[in-house]
Chain A
Amino acid sequence: MSTATQQGFTQDTFDAFLATRDEQDWMRELRLEAWRSFQDLPMPSRKDEEWMRTDIRLLKLDQFGPPKGEVDKAAELPIPLLAEGVQLGGSAVSYNGQNVACDLAEKWDDKGVLFGSVEDIARESPDVVQRFFAQMAFDAHVDKFAALHGAFWSGGVMLFVPRGVVVDEPFHSFAVTSDGGVDMGHLLVVLEDGAEATFLNETTGVSPITAALHCGATELIVGPGANLRFVNLQNWGDRTWHFAHQKGVVQRDGALQWTIGALGSRLAKVNQHVALIGPHADCQVNGTMFAEGRQHLSYHTLQHHLAPSTHSDFLYKTALQDRSRTVWRGMIKVDPDGQQTDGYQRNDNLLLSSDARADSIPGLEIEADDVRCTHGATTGKVDEEQIFYAQCRGFTRKEATRAIVIGFFQQIFDRIPIESVREALGLAIAQRVREYE
């Protein structure tokens, strides 16, 4: 299985990439604007507050390049974890940012649901894509990696659920990279007024040690009174660079439940942003992170309250072993119109080795005077008394540690209503726990 990749992100490779795209002028213009930003913007520096704990000096972008396609569709892909035993409303698979399979159940097709690659839907229903793509939840000009994505995105998946349609079968998207591969998938989920859907997104490498580049974007647009449950399991190969801009926009009376499993990659730098733009908009984020080896996982969250009486609840739990490092930087921002905001953020870290390191930086920026916003962070080690207690009852030390780690994450699991997601996350974490003295 191979995907030819031109080297580097240069004017020549951009021009060649653009020439292969069969797109309307408006999309072409977005790419050109993003490319100009990519050329103008500097690489992030460790002098920037957002990057001072995340070292990307070993990233060499010229070792990667825009994918050209030519995918062997018959090649064997890893087995997805989230779709196990689930009756799906639709599923999509991509390889190095190229869609290789897509399926939508006829009953949802009949109700006007759109599900497939962004490129395909842009050809078949261009008005829908133009209305939402990079309009509310993605800005290609905020930093170098957003611009890179804006210029070179390919593949990815779009789900559009029309007004009032309640889809009771989850959609599943599975993105895989090869060794040396590049994924620039763009995920766009739009729920119109009163619609409901569940979306399971899963990313991985062809093997656990795949070295690749992912530079992606996620846009979640939740219409008035709509309800979206979104799950993202990031399980890239442990030599993969992972950069992502992810944003949810929740309108009046809408609800977004966003579950994140961050397990893979050598270095992850993720910006997760939720904008609550209508009264009574609601968002719950459940973040599960497990880092090992020399992994570096950096998650920067922003819960932005722009309208009155909105509610947000972000809970991130992180376990670290070996010499891994995590950075969690969270911000609750309340605009002057955000009276009666109820915002909460918390990050708990469990250190399984003395060489691991977790940085938690919660923050508040409040411009309204009638709000309730709370935040907190904790960091601790596995309690030796709990280990001793479990060993007294016949557990080995490793079994006891694993049980304590799973118990640590149980608060998150209890908030996840989808059984396959709970089981996949629990199993993936339990398999990673090693024995420590």
Chain B
Amino acid sequence: MIGDGFVRVADAAEIPDPGKELVEADDRLLVLIHAGGSFYCIDDVCTHDGGTLGDGKLEGHALACARHGAQFDVRNGKPLTMPATQPAVVHEVKVDDGGVYVKINDI
């Protein structure tokens, strides 16, 4: 039982480590990442040109945009490589009773 604006988006067991899945919450598309034993959530939008991050390759905590290769740190959204220069939006994640919950960072 979890509240405070958190929305259940997936079962924790469904996503291998390392792995990622595209999920929907609050009418937005998000990438849910399982890496290093923890879950992270990042907007499915590359800040370079709006490409989808969900199609990109995950290496460690770096998620690459499939279109031009910009990489983002899924823990904080920081851009790691060009051509992205602006951070991606990340969302708070909690795991409770086998479920993964996300709280939308509505900025």
Does B associate with A? Answer: yes
Instruction: Identify whether the interface residues of A are mostly helix, strand, loop, or mixed.
Output: loop
CB-contacts of A402-425 with B (<8 A): none
Report the separation of the CA atoms of residues A46 and B45 in the bound assembly, to the nearest whole angstrom: 13
- A194 CB to closest chain B CB (Å) equals 47
| Contact of B52 with A55 in the complex, beta carbons under 8 Å | yes
Contacts of B29 in A (CB 8 A): 55, 57-58
| Contact of B27 with A58 in the complex, beta carbons under 8 Å | yes
| Contact of B27 with A46 in the complex, beta carbons under 8 Å | no
Q: Is B50 an interface residue (CB 8 A)?
A: yes
Contacts of A57 in B (CB 8 A): 29
Instruction: Identify whether the interface residues of B are mostly helix, strand, loop, or mixed.
Output: loop
Contact flags A40-65 to B (C-beta < 8 A → 1, else 0) = 00000010000011010110000000
Q: Is A357 an interface residue (CB 8 A)?
A: yes
Contacts of A53 in B (CB 8 A): 49-50
Q: Is B96 an interface residue (CB 8 A)?
A: no
Contacts of A52 in B (CB 8 A): 51
* Minimum CB distance partner of A266 in chain B: B27
Contacts of A242 in B (CB 8 A): none
Contact of B24 among A58, A323, A359 (CB under 8 A): A58
Q: Is A273 an interface residue (CB 8 A)?
A: no
| Contact of B24 with A357 in the complex, beta carbons under 8 Å | no
Most buried by A among B27, B50, B51, B52: B50
Contacts of A55 in B (CB 8 A): 29, 50, 52
Contact flags B48-82 to A (C-beta < 8 A → 1, else 0) = 01111000000000000000000000000000000
Report the separation of the CA atoms of residues A191 and B51 in the bound assembly, to the nearest whole angstrom: 44
Contact flags B71-107 to A (C-beta < 8 A → 1, else 0) = 0000000000000000000000000000000000001
Q: How many A-B residue pairs have CB under 8 A?
A: 17
- B52 CB to closest chain A CB (Å) equals 7
Contact of B52 among A46, A323, A359 (CB under 8 A): A46
Report the separation of the CA atoms of residues A55 and B29 in the bound assembly, to the nearest whole angstrom: 10
| Contact of A357 with B27 in the complex, beta carbons under 8 Å | no
| Contact of B27 with A325 in the complex, beta carbons under 8 Å | no
Report the separation of the CA atoms of residues A357 and B28 in the bound assembly, to the nearest whole angstrom: 18
| Contact of A325 with B24 in the complex, beta carbons under 8 Å | no
Report the separation of the CA atoms of residues A312 and B51 in the bound assembly, to the nearest whole angstrom: 33
Report the separation of the CA atoms of residues A55 and B55 in the bound assembly, to the nearest whole angstrom: 14
Contacts of B49 in A (CB 8 A): 53, 359
* Minimum CB distance partner of A60 in chain B: B24
- A180 CB to closest chain B CB (Å) equals 15
* Minimum CB distance partner of B50 in chain A: A53
Report the separation of the CA atoms of residues A46 and B65 in the bound assembly, to the nearest whole angstrom: 14
CB-contacts of A53-87 with B (<8 A): 53, 55, 57-58
Report the separation of the CA atoms of residues A266 and B72 in the bound assembly, to the nearest whole angstrom: 27
Report the separation of the CA atoms of residues A57 and B27 in the bound assembly, to the nearest whole angstrom: 11
- A153 CB to closest chain B CB (Å) equals 28
Report the separation of the CA atoms of residues A357 and B50 in the bound assembly, to the nearest whole angstrom: 9
Report the separation of the CA atoms of residues A184 and B75 in the bound assembly, to the nearest whole angstrom: 44
Report the separation of the CA atoms of residues A117 and B51 in the bound assembly, to the nearest whole angstrom: 42
Report the separation of the CA atoms of residues A180 and B98 in the bound assembly, to the nearest whole angstrom: 34
CB-contacts of A307-341 with B (<8 A): 323, 325
Contacts of B52 in A (CB 8 A): 46, 55
* Minimum CB distance partner of B55 in chain A: A46
Contact flags B13-38 to A (C-beta < 8 A → 1, else 0) = 00000000000100111000000000
Q: List 17 A-B contacts (CB under 8 A).
A: A46-B51, A46-B52, A52-B51, A53-B49, A53-B50, A55-B29, A55-B50, A55-B52, A57-B29, A58-B24, A58-B27, A58-B28, A58-B29, A323-B107, A325-B50, A357-B50, A359-B49
Residues of B within 8 A of A (CB): 24, 27-29, 49-52, 107
- Given A55-B50, A55-B52, A57-B29, 14 more A-B residue pairs with CB atoms under 8 Å apart are A46-B51, A46-B52, A52-B51, A53-B49, A53-B50, A55-B29, A58-B24, A58-B27, A58-B28, A58-B29, A323-B107, A325-B50, A357-B50, A359-B49
